[in-house]
Amino acid sequence: MNYLKLSALLLFAVTLCSCVSAKHETFVVPKSFQYPEVSVAAKDFVTKGFVFVESKLIVNEKGERIGSEITNEMLIKEAQKLGADAVVNVKIDVFEENKSSVNQGKTTQERTYIYKASGLAIKYTNAVDTGVQK
């Protein structure tokens, strides 16, 4: 019986607490703050999929660079394989590894950078009509 009373009291408390009253006010913008409506061209797009590229750059102790860093063109080439026009939300991670070796009493060092990039390939669709004649 106590559980029944407790349940009824709890239900009453929840119902009482869930009542909300709101005050609605209307704000009128003064004429001095009103601006003409402006159309902004925007590009609509559809997603074509994710693209991933990886490259490796080795820098030896003489400063010679072997390999390449990630470039935007690498991502675009991968996106074009999917029929896309551009890549958005690009993320590039760099991993560095240092190596030292001793050969005939001579120490050599080299740094290896591994670049991994990903992004979302998109294909542009119709642009918003701005009403401006070309």
For residue 100, the domain's CATH number is: 3.30.110
Q: How far apart are CA 50 and CA 91, in angstroms?
A: 11
Residue 23 is predicted with a pLDDT of 56
3-state helix, strand and coil shares in percent for the chain, rounded to the nearest 5? 20, 45, 35
Domain of residue 52, residue span? 40-127
Helix (H, G, I), strand (E, B) or coil at 66: strand
Instruction: Tell me, yes or no, whether 34 lies in a domain.
Output: no
Instruction: Tell me, yes or no, whether 61 lies in a domain.
Output: yes
Residue 134 is predicted with a pLDDT of 47
63-107 per-position pLDDT tens digit: 888 888 878 899 999 999 999 999 999 999 999 998 888 888 888
Q: How far apart are CA 128 and CA 134, in angstroms?
A: 14
Instruction: Tell me, yes or no, whether 26 lies in a domain.
Output: no
Instruction: Tell me, yes or no, whether 66 lies in a domain.
Output: yes
Write the DSSP assignment of 17-54 as a string of letters: HT---------PPPGGG---------EEEEEEEEEEEE
Instruction: Tell me, yes or no, whether 107 lies in a domain.
Output: yes
Question: pTM score, two decimals?
Answer: 0.57
- Our count of domains for the chain comes to 1
Burial of 85 (0-12, 13-18, 19+ CB in 10 A): middle
Instruction: Tell me, yes or no, whether 21 lies in a domain.
Output: no
Instruction: Tell me, yes or no, whether 79 lies in a domain.
Output: yes
Instruction: Tell me, yes or no, whether 133 lies in a domain.
Output: no
